[in-house]
Structure formats: C-alpha cells, structure tokens
Structure 1
C-alpha cells in the first residue's frame, strides 16, 4: 500500500536536495509538510489553515492531479469547485500572512504520462491496480471512446492549470509555475511502485524547477 513519504518530498524532504534544503541553512527546524497522499483541491483549505499557524515565509502548493484522476470522467472535480477551493485557500493565507510568498506548481501532463508509459508491459500491469483510471485505464486501447476519455481528462488538467494561473495572479507574492506541466518526466523520474508519482529523482527535479522559479529576479507571473 502506498503511503506518505515526507522525507523524500521535493518541497521539504531531507533525503533529497529539496527546495527547503536549497533555500534554508537549517531546514529541519523551519519547515512543515501538510501534503497527503490522495489529496484533492477540496483538502487544500484545511491544509493552508494548518500551515498558516506555523507562520511560514514561503508556502508551496502542488495539487490537482488527484482531482483529475478519478474512476470516471464524470467524477473529476468540477472546474468551478476547484477554483472556489483554491481561491478560498489563497484568501485564507493572504489574510493571515500578507507577506508570505506562495509557489504554485502546475498540474503535470497526465496524458504524456499515459503516452509514454503505455509502451511498457510492466507499467500497464501496475496501472491496472487502479492508478489514475480516468487516464490510464485500458492503456493500450485506441478506441474512439478511450481516446475521448483521455482527451477530456487532458482538457480538465488544462482547465485546472488555467485556474491556478489566474487565481495566483490575483494574489500578491504568488508565483505560478507552468514548467511542471511542461516538463517531460523520464522513467527514472517516476516511482517504480506505481509508475505515476515522482521517484526521488523526480522529486529532485520538482525541487529544481521550483528553485528556478522562486529565485527568478523578474518576480514571476
């Protein structure tokens, strides 16, 4: 059974060269991780509320893939609900901590994950265990209905990313990073347990992308 592994987190982990390790001289005493396996956007308001109690100088957000990864397309989180929960989370954070920076990563490209992984028999077998069924079910099928289903998931991810970009742009000191969606993750950067979540190498890459965006001098978008 998959479980949380905060020590390998791209944001705060100590087993990888995480964002916290790159930014802080003593990260173990000044970082907190409220991410949970399987979390969806509806969980973010509570996570943000818990984080604000620690009064961090930087909050990182990577969420949304699970909103698209449902049993069926119909069960994906509606875009309006996704927006409402994200906007509420940012509002809560900004009211409590007006000077705290926010880094928002884009939702990764799930369709590319399918396109690359479907060529490998081992990955296809693992995905049959129920990994992101809305996108990865019947991975080899090129039937019109299967293609339509994947296109709908792909579009929903694009819609989620648009929400993240738009809502982040309304908030002072918030940076949205489209590079996570654009990055072409390799096999080495995916977990060998589920061929879906990032491996340590993948977490390392996420940390590198975040560091690049956060330290840009132009202030971000």
Structure 2
C-alpha cells in the first residue's frame, strides 16, 4: 500500500475555492563539482584582493610609513597579477607631481625600471618559465595626500607556480624601500608576510 501511494500520480484536490492543480515535479538541481567550487572561490578571492577601495575609504593609511611598500599578488593556475604600491619619496625622492625637468627625468627613469624589472622585483623559480609584464605604472597624487607610485603586472608561467616559493628583489631595485607588506592569494593558499630588505619568501 505504501509503495502504491508513493508512486501514485498526483491528483488535483478540491477546496472551497475549486479544484487546485497538482504540484508539478521539479527537475533535480545539478550540483557543481567540488573542483569547480574551489576554482570559483580562488577567483573570487583574487578578484576581491584587487578590487578598488569602497567610496570614502582611504587607501593611504599604510603609505605614510616611509620605507614600507605594499604588494598584492594573485595567482590562479598558470597566470596571475600583481600590484605594487610605494610612496613616491621611497622610489624617486619626492611625493608631489614633478615640477622641474630634473624631477621629470628622475621619475621617468624610476618608472622605466618598474616597467622593465618585473621579474627582478617578483622572483619565481626560473624552472617555471614565468614572465612578468608591466600593465600600468603611474603616480597617484590626490589633493592633501601623499603621492604614491602604483605599478601593476600580468604574470604568465609555463608551469603553475603553486607550491614553489616566490622571492623578492624590490629593496635591491629601490633602496628607499626597507620593507614590503605582501598579501598573496592563489588556488591553494592565502597568506601574508612582511619582507625586510628582500629577505623572506611566500609560497602560493
């Protein structure tokens, strides 16, 4: 009897408002595989790390500590991106927009070094075959705030770098930067560390 009831067709039922049609069976929802969920989580975490600050939020609190820069590093599979922020004074000696030909020349040389030296600033294992290409290098100067240098990079590797240490050469290229606060997000790890004079590493 129970079996017959479970498999019996659903019939319309009568109420005081008339006949109510039977509920229609809903198709089963397919659950995405766990690997896909994990990949989505990594992508969301990386996107969040590089999202612009909310309106009204200050992104300048950290840079007033002269000698300290910030590096955001995101890796997903064989590709990634990075963003380096540092006080202009620590990169080329001043934090305002260049006012003289000499200052423009000093800034241009520093920007050229940032564009050309991505693989020296962020050092992956050479066996991974990673290239680090500058996407944008600029001076971010706001009224009443200290100017900061912002450099963004695109990372492409022949071999996924997960599990291999990443080292740094930022202080070697720019001696005015003593420490770098690094935040790393990858498919398999989320970590952070303060790198002092290029000593230390993180593993994606």
Q: Same fold (TM over 0.5)?
A: no
Superposition TM-score, scaled by structure 2 size: 0.29
With structure 1 as the length reference, what TM-score do the two structures score? Answer: 0.28
